[in-house]
Amino acid sequence: MAFYCGNNGSPYPIASASQPAVPTSTIPSTTGPTSFVIDAFADPNANALGFWHGGDDPATYSISGGRITFSMNGNADLSWYTQLSGSCTDFTPNNNGYLHIAYTGSSAFSVALQQHNPSCNANVAPYPQTWDDVEAGRYSNSANTDIYIPMTHFNIDRSKAIGLAFKGFYERATTTVSRIEI
């Protein structure tokens, strides 16, 4: 392909290709507040923070023995939620941290961080106002046992965080989660 301006053509120089960055198998340590557990599935009605957790269809998940098993059967429209507080939670102190999910089974799902509305009022629509989700499989280790998502990869106002959602389970395989923490 050549572009002409006037009567003379000139070749287009091809840029040299650089080698892509090679990922490492190590993750830098978290900085900021001490890590804390969001959910360890000890209570079927509340998470480790004392707030609600539950899903769109209780028949698609079960909590037992400190674990939750998702059996969404490929229904990507169903979600499961765990609340971070009863209102807005400022997660910006965790900007240099990671959301850690200990799991087994399929990583074919998404994890969303939800943002509350501007007034942090559950009686005012929209609730939640918005969310940003990432594909869990992109952040999983090769053994499929741990997911580490940098908090900055959630593109929301993290000063108004309200909860996490596990959604978009697009495979029929089950996923079992034993811990969610920062």
> What does the pLDDT look like over 2-26, one tens digit per residue?
555 666 666 656 666 555 554 555 5
Quick one: pLDDT at residue 125?
Answer: 85
Quick one: pLDDT at residue 8?
Answer: 63
Residue 29 pLDDT exceeds 60? no
Quick one: pLDDT at residue 146?
Answer: 97
Quick one: pLDDT at residue 30?
Answer: 53
The Cα–Cα gap between 89 and 92 comes to 9
- Name the average pLDDT for the chain: 87
Q: What is the pTM of this model?
A: 0.81
Residue 73 pLDDT exceeds 90? no
SS (H, E, C) 6-56: CCEEECCCCCCCCCCCCCCCCCCCCCCCCCCEEECCCCCCECCCCCEEEEC
Looking at residues 64-93, what average pLDDT do you find? 93
Looking at residues 51-72, what average pLDDT do you find? 96
